[in-house]
Amino acid sequence: MKMKKNSPLKHYSSPEQSRGQPVLSSDRPLPRGAKCNRCRGQAEVHLPSHHANFCPDCFIHFVRTAVIRALKEVNFQPRPLMVAVSGGKDSLAVWDLLHQLGYQTKGLHINLGISGFSEASSQAVDDFASSRGLEWSEYCLEDVFGYSIPEVHRLLRGKTCSLCGRLKRAFFNRLTVREGFNTLVTGHNLDDEAGRLLGNLVGKRLEHVYKQYPYLPSPHPLIPAKLKPLYRLEIKELLAYCRLKNITPVQKICSYSRGATSHTFKQALDFLEDSMPGTKRSFLFSYLRDSQLKDRLACEQDGEGQRDRKTEYGLCQECGCPAYAHRCGICSLRQRLGDKEKSKQQRSELKRQHLCLEEQK
């Protein structure tokens, strides 16, 4: 979906750029005397969607409580966690919070091979982990898949961002299991989830709405459970948390993410949020809490409602990973890339031969 040229949203910057009432800003501080809702001290953080102001310490308490509440709401039972860390604010914040809350964690970073961006992302993870003595593993997409993201882009053009998402999701699963964990944490926040919900509803992808639940148990021994502890926290809140905790996320932006439709849905919700604070969270939470919808969608997904999802999986004949067909989506994609590469090589060889013949004439 493309944004129209004169769309009102076009001029509407993301909340990461300073717009509207900032959560924590040195250029627009809260007036002297503004009180923290929790301790009545000087407030420095304003949360419009909660109609609340906090001092830095109470704000950190608020963020922690949001994560504890998220884990409680999905009835999460403590166990070692593999945390997918991109080097961005969300994944570094979630790792920090889970570590602070006493969870046993290990970071997992996938280096996508994007010049400049990937080195900086990996460095941000390393700086964060080494300053806290946390363990993490880094895998290069090229090593585990055979192609880096720029190579995928060179060969398939156009859909790089969504292919990258698909590859990351698949390798998060595979590498989490390879590392001996059964639960994968990602840093998806309230804005990500609300934007995705809007996109799924607009596209009537109801089965995906069901899969948006912040905790999904493992459907197969080779697929880890998925946990999103930040689904109650907004982008702005996480930015403020990182600033207060001296967490330095990667500053570079991936060049392939420009024009992703997910940004447009998030911007549309920010537009509503700006005039009606709280809209984003009530939109998301009304769906997450709707048990009737959850049951109905679960039934739709399972056909008669009671089928064992484990039996739906076979194993890929090439890589042995869970798959619905004889070959998994990742092996099919690798094959497509290989075919494309061969036909490109053949075309350039023909061109070369043609030029030689022309020269000989």
8 Å CB contact between 106 and 181:
yes
Burial of 32 (0-12, 13-18, 19+ CB in 10 A): exposed
CB of 90 to ligand AMP, least distance (A): 4
* Distance in angstroms (rounded) separating the CA atoms of residues 109 and 138: 5
Centre a 10 Å sphere on the Cβ of residue 97 and count the other Cβ atoms it contains.
23
CB of 357 to ligand AMP, least distance (A): 47
8 Å CB contact between 248 and 177:
no
* Distance in angstroms (rounded) separating the CA atoms of residues 288 and 12: 28
Question: Binding marks (x or -) toward ligand AMP, 64..103, rule CB under 6 A?
Answer: --------------------xxx---xx------------
Q: Is 183 in the site for ligand AMP (CB under 6 A)?
A: no
The residue with tokens 């964690």 is 105
CB of 171 to ligand FES, least distance (A): 12
Question: Binding marks (x or -) toward ligand FES, 106..125, rule CB under 6 A?
Answer: ------x-------------
Task: Name the binder of 331 from ligand AMP, ligand FES, Zn ion, none, CB < 5-8 A by kind.
Answer: Zn ion
Distance (Å) of CA 10 to CA 52, 263, 268, 275: 30, 11, 10, 17
Burial of 342 (0-12, 13-18, 19+ CB in 10 A): exposed
Applying CB under 6 A, among 53, 111, 148, 160 the residue interacting with ligand FES is: 160
Selected range binding ligand FES among 160-168, 184-192, 272-280, 302-310, rule: CB under 6 A: 160-168
Applying CB under 6 A, among 36, 93, 110, 331 the residue interacting with ligand AMP is: 110
Question: Of 179 and 318, which has the nearer Cβ to Zn ion?
Answer: 318
User: Contact positions toward ligand AMP, by CB under 6 A?
Assistant: 84-86, 90-91, 108-110, 112, 165, 168, 186-188, 192
